[in-house]
Amino acid sequence: MLKIIKNIKGLLPKRDPLSHKGDNGRVLIVGGSIDYFGAPILAGLGALYSGADLVHLYVPECNFDVTRSMYPDFIVRQYAGERLSERAAAEIVKYGKKMDSVLIGPGLGATATAGSSNGETVVEGVLEIIKNLHIPTVLDANAISALKNVEKFPLQQPVVITPHHNEFRNLIDREIDVEDKDSKSIILLRSISMDLHINVLLKGPRDYISSEEGHVEINTTGNAGMTVGGSGDVLAGVVATFLAQRSEGYDAARAAAYLIGKAGDKLKKKKGYNYSSSDLAFMLPEVMS
| Tens-place pLDDT, residues 104-134 | 999 998 654 444 434 358 999 999 999 999 9
Give me the half-sphere count of Cα atoms (radius 13 Å) on the Cβ side of residue 98: 8
Rounded average pLDDT over 231-247: 98
For residue 227, what pLDDT band results from cuts at 50, 70 and 90? very high
Identity (one letter) of the amino acid at 251? D
pLDDT (mean) for 37-53: 98
pLDDT of residue 121: 82
What pLDDT does 221 receive?
Answer: 98
Q: Looking at residue 179, what DSSP letter applies?
A: -
Per-residue pLDDT band for 180 (boundaries 50, 70, 90) equals confident
Choose the most confident range, by mean pLDDT, from 98-112, 177-191, 217-231: 217-231
Q: Are 203 and 192 in contact (CB under 8 A)?
A: no
Q: What is the mean pLDDT of the chain?
A: 94
pLDDT confidence of residue 7: 87
Quote the percentage of the chain above a pLDDT of 90: 90
Look at residue 48 and tell me whether its pLDDT is greater than 50.
Answer: yes
18 pLDDT exceeds 90? Answer: yes
Q: Output DSSP code: residue 35.
A: S
Mean pLDDT of 162-190: 93
* pLDDT value of residue 111: 59
Cα–Cα distance for residue pair 89/74, rounded to 1 Å: 20
* Residue 25 amino acid letter: G
Mean pLDDT over 200-209 rounds to 97
Quick one: pLDDT at residue 85?
92
- Predicted model pTM: 0.95
**Residues 162, 165, 168, CA angle at the centre, nearest 5°?**
65
**In angstroms, rounded to a whole number, what is the distance separating the alpha carbons of residues 141 and 108?**
8
Q: Where are the alpha helices (DSSP H) in 71-134?
A: 86-96, 122-132
Q: How far apart are CA 140 and CA 254, in angstroms?
A: 16
Distance of alpha carbon 204 from its chain centroid, rounded? Answer: 15
Q: Which amino acid does the sequence have at 95? A: Y
Separation in Å, CA 50 to CA 57, 211, 218, 256: 16, 22, 21, 9
Say if residue 154 is preceded by a cis peptide, omega within 30 of 0. yes
What confidence tier does 77 reach under pLDDT thresholds 50, 70, 90? very high
Indicate the range of 34-38, 92-96, 175-179, 185-189 predicted with least confidence: 175-179
The secondary structure of residue 143, as a DSSP letter, is G
What pLDDT, on a 0 to 100 scale, did the predictor assign at position 117? 38
Strand (E) or helix (H) holding 29? strand 26-30
pLDDT at 87: 93
Residue 250, SS3 per DSSP: helix
What is the distance, to the nearest Å, from the Cα of residue 274 to the centroid of all Cα atoms in its chain?
A: 24
Question: In this structure, are residues 25 and 98 in contact, taking their beta carbons and an 8 Å threshold?
Answer: no
Provide the β-strand partners of residue 199.
160
Q: Could you tell me if 178 and 201 are in contact, meaning their C-beta atoms sit under 8 angstroms apart?
A: no
What was the pLDDT predicted at 120?
Answer: 54
Which DSSP symbol is given to 215? Answer: -
Domains, in order of start, for the chain: 19-163+221-288 (3.40.1190.20)
Least confident of 37-41, 80-84, 112-116, 121-125: 112-116
- pLDDT reported for residue 115: 44
